Amino acid sequence: MKKWICLAMVMVMVCAALVACSVPATPSGGTDETAETPAAEQPSDDGEETEDPPAQSGGDVSINFITWRAEDADVLKEMVAMFEEQNPGIKVNLEITSSDMTEYYTILKSRLVSGEGADIFHCHPGAYLDQLVEAGYCKDLTDTGLGELYDEEFYDIGVINNKLYGLVQTYNSFAVFYNTKLFDELGLQKPSSYADVLAAAQASTDAGYMPIAAGFAEAWTTGMVYEQLMANYSPDDDMVFKKLEDGEYKLSEEPYLSVLNDIAQMNTDGLFQKNAMGTKYDASLSLFARGEATMLITGTWSVGGLKDMDESLEFGLFSLPGVNAEAVGIVSPSQLICVNDKSSATDAAMKFAEFLSSVEAETFYSNNTKQAPTVKGVEVDVAELAEVSKLMEGKTAVLSDTYIKDPVMVSIMDEVAAKILGGQDVQSAAAEGQAQIDALIAENNG
């Protein structure tokens, strides 16, 4: 008898293990009627879908919206509630994963590949969008009429091979934030040239404040410096990074040399706080919000977050000028709205995309997140956004055109900048970076 009990227990354990490890048949998005059809049909060898996604029929539809925008969490939740109220048959599960981009794309890709949990998502323009479009995960939005709802200057940002795959929800700009109260206390004016910035930094240090707080411990933050400087030195050369990726330009030549020399000069001049290389990005925001630093290098996406840290904090913005170049206003497209073409709930996801592209939704989003709108006809009433628009009063450069496509290239450029900020001389840092770029080009071509 005992052996039969043992045998039964073993069989139960094995069955339990097999059931636990099996792939669930129900897709995350879609109606109950579509539950037995995998959300993402296996693509054929040529990358095309083998079958069209099943059409939705009656009943409640649940879709997943994935984003990294933790700063906008409350606003997005309210927008989801607004949408659900207007569309009673559709439920939107908002999932904010990680503000770390590597982690975000790890999660997003795994969801897309598994066919679960990403019916509509945020994506950056550049390499990530390219990859997802190539793999067939972004719906072609060209003939949906959604693109026409956005300002013309943002349309092309989501275009690949003449087809629209992403809608720019907002844009940002790199900026140096300055504490207006501390500037008044030190008798400083808003800087407009490198000499002004240097004078402000020195006055801050002399008064016991940190100058520009920077969180260079996180490599991406160095990009805000070299991309701003690159735009300053080559405002009309929108292919400047593409040429570096193609091997046409070298790091040891202009315009890169000026940019790298400027980074070294700024470091030597003590523009950034001591130990900037060991300071994390969030810590740099705290230094500024607590009034320990008079200035902060970040992007306009920080406006809302800094106000959340201290409602009474008053600041102005200026674009970082080069040592020998005037500052250019950077237009940096932020998140793109993309719809998963392999979702089983594409229609519902499209409805949500339409809602996000409406004047009503964009007005709500911009007013509450204090980020610049991109949809036509949106009027916002946020004092801080007036500061952002001042950055665009002079010459501007749209950053998406100059984006480095290859993430390895981004890493190389970040590393070169970090080496210089860490004290390495420009020549050797540029030579080491160029050697890595040459190896990358050879690998990509080989």
Partner 1 sequence: MNTELGTVRKRKTGNLTIYLFLIAPLAVYAIFFLFPNLNSLFSSFYKWDGVAPVKEFVGFSNYIKMLGDPLFWKSFGNTIKYTITLVAFQTLCGLLLAVLIFKASKIHNFFRTLYFMPAMLSAVTVGLIFGFIYDPNMGALNKFLEAVGLENLTRSWLSDENIVIYALAFVHVWVGIGQSVVLFVAGLQNIPYDLYESARIDGAGPWKQFTRITMPMLKSTTLIVLVLTTIGGFKCFDYVFVMTGGGATHSSEVLATLLYKEAYAYSDFGYSAAISVALLIIVSVITAVQMRLLRKDA
Contacts with partner 1, residue ranges (CB under 8 A): 3, 6-7, 10, 13-14, 17-18, 21, 43-45, 47, 102-103, 105-106, 109, 112-113, 127, 131-132, 134-137, 210, 216-219, 273-275, 277-280, 283, 286-287, 292, 407-408, 411, 415, 418-419, 422, 443
Looking at the Cβ atoms of 48 and 379, the one nearer to partner 1 is 48
Rama region for 175: left / alpha / beta (φ>0; ψ in -120 to 50; rest): beta
Query: Dmax over Cα atoms in the chain, in whole Å?
Result: 93
Looking at the Cβ atoms of 133 and 325, the one nearer to partner 1 is 133
Give the chain's length: 446
Q: Are 221 and 215 in contact (CB under 8 A)?
A: yes
CB of 165 to partner 1, least distance (A): 14
Looking at the Cβ atoms of 102 and 161, the one nearer to partner 1 is 102
Instruction: Write out the two tokens for 120.
Output: 């509509």
CB of 379 to partner 1, least distance (A): 39
Looking at the Cβ atoms of 287 and 323, the one nearer to partner 1 is 287
E strand or H helix at 243: helix 240-246
Instruction: Write out the two tokens for 259.
Output: 């940019």
Q: Report the alpha-carbon distance of residue 250 to residue 243 in Å, rounded.
A: 9
CB of 240 to partner 1, least distance (A): 22
CB of 370 to partner 1, least distance (A): 27
Q: Are 172 and 301 in contact (CB under 8 A)?
A: yes
CB of 123 to partner 1, least distance (A): 12
Other beta carbons within 10 angstroms of residue 57's beta carbon come to: 10
Q: Are 354 and 50 in contact (CB under 8 A)?
A: no
CB of 242 to partner 1, least distance (A): 19
Closest-CA residue to 95 (of 70, 128, 61): 70
CB of 343 to partner 1, least distance (A): 15
DSSP label at residue 340: B
Other beta carbons within 10 angstroms of residue 435's beta carbon come to: 12
Looking at the Cβ atoms of 206 and 443, the one nearer to partner 1 is 443
Helix %, strand %, coil % for the chain, to 5?
A: 50, 15, 35
CB of 388 to partner 1, least distance (A): 28
Looking at the Cβ atoms of 134 and 253, the one nearer to partner 1 is 134
Q: Are 63 and 92 in contact (CB under 8 A)?
A: yes
Q: 333: helix, coil or strand?
A: strand
Looking at the Cβ atoms of 187 and 446, the one nearer to partner 1 is 446
Looking at the Cβ atoms of 77 and 290, the one nearer to partner 1 is 290
Residues in a beta bridge with 67: 96
Looking at the Cβ atoms of 290 and 376, the one nearer to partner 1 is 290
- Output the CA angle 440-443-444, nearest 5 degrees: 85
Q: Report the alpha-carbon distance of residue 279 to residue 213 in Å, rounded.
A: 9
Looking at the Cβ atoms of 239 and 408, the one nearer to partner 1 is 408
Q: Are 71 and 172 in contact (CB under 8 A)?
A: no
Q: 379: helix, coil or strand?
A: coil
Q: Are 349 and 29 in contact (CB under 8 A)?
A: yes
Looking at the Cβ atoms of 274 and 376, the one nearer to partner 1 is 274
CB of 214 to partner 1, least distance (A): 11
CB of 19 to partner 1, least distance (A): 12
CB of 179 to partner 1, least distance (A): 17
Closest-CA residue to 245 (of 411, 404, 433): 404
